[in-house]
Amino acid sequence: DADMGFGLPSTGREFATPDGVPRPRSLAEYRDQMRAIVRQGLVDIMLMSTSTSEVLTLEDRLFESSAVTPAIRANDATDVHVMRGSRVFQQPARPFRTTSLDHAQCGHLDCDAGERIAGSDLGLYSVTFNNDVELDRETLEAYRLFRDEAERKGFRHFLEVFHPNAAGAVEPELLMDFINDAIARTLAGVASAGRPIFLKIPYPGAEKLEELVAYDPHLIVGILGGSSGTTRDAFQLLEDARRHGARAALFGRKINHSENQLAFVEFLRLIADGDLTAEEAVPAYHAVLGKLGIRPLRSLAEDQQVTETSLSYGGADKAPPLATTSRRIRSGDGGDQSAPQFAKMTSAERLAYHQSRLKKMFGE
């Protein structure tokens, strides 16, 4: 859904070029990448702008034979208006919604009941609380109106909660407490029929993530990827979030800006399933890029670094420090005994196994 925020640069760059020099992708190529990821079948949700969903969901019927669920960005508050030269996103967020739910569901206004199943019935709704009575009241009122419309039209949503984008809105040491409390307070008055099916939040650190997860075990907490950073940043963020209770991860820019999206998604899935650690995945990913003849953006040593990465569209907020442990996340005991026994493998054996499998997928 990056085209809802960034304009032309949203499509990312194509790295597999004849001269090895990356070039901007066209909108058609951007959508082709989405088609390829859906057909790969490793992600659970494909989040799109309504215009892209119209093409992939309503025209292509791409999701009819896929386990991947189509979703649209249901609102685009002003803090995601990150065009080149824009100052809008630097000002306190104001609620705004370009799309209509009817357009997402059937492609035109006033859908008949039977038409609503043709398109997407899931959307991302984002809110930004700035600790300002008028701004936050406006944000909450817009969210309430959206929920009412969504419930009437059989449209589900997941809720994204950004950090404040107004300077000095909350003392830094209280920011994560503010976000957790704002989530709990906002949803306390919402009956089950109108509640989000899961949350999407910036990674708050281990302690605050565990606190939110423990508060309501029925609330599925997911984390957002934020800006690109290093490959290790993306992989470590997923590993840490999974370890501390997150049950979903939504990576847009980190995938879109990677050298090879299919390979990058493959490694994200391996980490999410507990089959590979972040530390192991980075050199394996670089090995795949080498086999594909794609020059990495960074050296392996640089790409193994854990850095601070931005967790807001505009780039103001920084993530809490990520762990650098190589302690393995296990997927649990038992299960299919014919599957590889990763728990019994050394790090080198796991790496060799996945490199061999990926060579078969992406070619020698």
- 303, 307, 311, 316: CA torsion to nearest 10: -120
> To 10 degrees, what angle do helices 175-188 and 206-215 make?
20
pLDDT band at 135 (very low <50, low <70, confident <90, very high): very high
What domains does the chain contain, in order, with CATH numbers?
Answer: 2-362 (3.20.20.70)
- Residue range 332-355: mean pLDDT, rounded: 51
Give the C-alpha separation, 266 to 70, whole Å. 19
pLDDT at 337: 41
Give the C-alpha separation, 32 to 30, whole Å. 5
Q: Is the pLDDT of residue 364 over 60?
A: no
Q: Is the pLDDT of residue 30 over 80?
A: yes
Write the DSSP string, 164-201: P-STTSS-GGGHHHHHHHHHHHHHHT--GGGS-SSEEE
pLDDT at 323: 55
- Residue range 143-171: mean pLDDT, rounded: 97
pLDDT at 16: 84
* Alpha helix ranges (H) inside the chain: 27-40, 50-53, 101-106, 133-152, 175-188, 206-215, 231-243, 253-256, 261-272, 278-292, 300-303, 347-362
pTM of the model: 0.85
C-alpha angle 142/194/105, rounded to 5°?
80
Give pLDDT tens digits for 103-125: 999 999 999 989 999 999 999 99
